[in-house]
Amino acid sequence: MTTLMTRLTRSWNLRYPILSAPMAFAGGGQLAAAVSRSGGLGLIGGGYGDPSWLEEQFEAARGHSVGVGFITWSLRKSPSLLTNVLKHRPAAVMLSFGDPRPFVAEIRAARAKLICQCQNMEHVMDAVDVGANAVVAQGAEAGGHGALRGAITFVPEAADYIRTHAPDTLLLAAGGIADGRGLAAALMLGADGVLMGTRFWASKEALVHARHHEAIVETDGDGTVRTRVADIARQIPWPKEFTARIRRNAFTSRWHGREDELEKNVSVEGPRYRKAFAEGDPENTAVWFGEAAGLVHAIEPAGAIVERIAAEALACLKRYS
């Protein structure tokens, strides 16, 4: 069994510096538990806040140390979601896409680690200001919601800032990381570990329709687009600074660039979108993965993914040491 030691693994008692992203609807308790059981830390996706679903997922992860993540602007509408989740004693709580300040004291009181996902340097500065235990520098390559910075410059810039202003704060890299080369590169850029979404979205434990899993295996890194059309169709009021990276398909071809028209027709197109998603239709709804699709060639158990990526990264680091 390999080990890959960083500040993250030492301070959080992990075997590998790998976290699974708290992907809404896809990152459930079984996936989080599998990642944690394999030596990383799995995070349950709190999404837009379904208390019953969250209870089910923590029950599915029972016996394993897991964390949870929330969409911060959405959590502000239902702060009791955090209070209820903290009763499960999560190892960490990740906040993304909004000001974390309203929730910091409650997370600290529960002795959970605070992770703040950031998309630009202003977000990093805010995360340091509130005393986050870990900062995630999320590059635009990531699947799902994000912004414009590319990981290869954003991660070292964030590392430099943290080293100067908050040297005890950990840094995780996210966006486009799906194999050991990506993990090794992130460590060389100054990160203490990685947060991976797309690679774990394409795992057997993820709550993803089989037809959507087939779609990622067939798609390369050019096959995604950053767009607002999924949020318009779902009528979810995301802040306009954040777009979603999803698979290019018939849905995006029809509506990307025609957002105003989609908004006018959402009473018809919204139900069509939701029906297609429920049926696992890979062409007429959003399929939520990032540019790392080109590095995914099979749907595998999460534990095997963790072990292989760690071993690949260690081999890369030894090769160039």
pLDDT for 232-279, tens place per residue? Answer: 999 999 999 999 999 999 999 999 999 999 999 999 999 999 999 999
Alpha helices (H) along 76-205: 80-86, 101-109, 121-129, 151-165, 180-188, 198-201
Tell me the two tokens of residue 267.
Answer: 């009473």
Sequence ranges of the domains in the chain: 7-207+298-319, 210-291
Q: How is residue 13 written in tokens? A: 């008692």
Q: What pTM value is reported for the model?
A: 0.96
Distance CA 274, CA 284 (A): 9
Distance in angstroms (rounded) separating the CA atoms of residues 115 and 162: 14
Q: How many CB atoms lie within 10 A of CB 55?
A: 15
Residue 68 and residue 81 in contact, taking contact as beta carbons nearer than 8 Å: no
CATH topology of domain 7-207+298-319: TIM Barrel (3.20.20)
The residue type found at 166 is A
98-108 confidence digits (pLDDT tens): 999 999 999 99
